[in-house]
């Protein structure tokens, strides 16, 4: 499994904590930035991670900002992306199992480092259940192909 990871300035410290965890777990990842707490615009990092996942260069993505919401909104503009902002382990697991989410977004101002690691683990270890869930995903993903 290869993971694309990115943040803006407001999620930079949380991203570093999760990177340490990924390294400890010996998981393969690519960090698209940002690289400091200097103010920057989150959409460029959300799009960079989303494009890595949409192209298949990475299997899943992790995005961090102040709340996780802005990153999820921006990432979801990329065709094929299902990004979810989560702040509890049930939602992080369920969004993979039921929505086949391919990007998890978190807010540094919402979750601490320990919870962020638990969210990442719940997300990475969950598997899509298919069945009725696929039918529902097909319904909303069809919107991407409308002109």
In the chain, which residue ranges form alpha helices assigned H by DSSP? 12-24, 42-55, 69-75, 89-99, 113-125, 132-141
Q: Which residues are part of the catalytic machinery?
A: 65, 98
Sequence-separated (6 or more) residues with CB below 8 Å from residue 129: 97, 98
Structure-block tokens of residue 103: 């990007």
Contact present, 6 and 64 (Cβ < 8 Å): yes
């Amino acid at each position: 499994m290869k993971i694309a990871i990115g943040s803006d300035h407001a999620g930079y410290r949380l991203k570093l904590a999760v990177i340490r965890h990924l390294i400890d777990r010996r998981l393969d990842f690519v960090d698209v930035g940002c690289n400091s707490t200097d103010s920057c615009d989150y959409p460029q990092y959300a799009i960079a991670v989303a494009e890595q996942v949409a192209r298949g260069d990475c299997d899943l993505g992790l995005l961090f900002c102040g709340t996780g919401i802005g990153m999820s909104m921006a990432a979801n503009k990329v065709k094929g992306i299902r990004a979810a902002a989560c702040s509890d382990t049930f939602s992080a697991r369920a969004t993979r199992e039921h929505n086949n989410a391919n990007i998890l977004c978190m807010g540094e101002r919402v979750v601490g480092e320990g919870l962020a690691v638990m969210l990442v683990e719940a997300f990475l270890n969950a598997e899509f259940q298919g069945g009725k869930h696929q039918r529902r995903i097909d319904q909303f993903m069809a919107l991407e192909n409308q002109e």
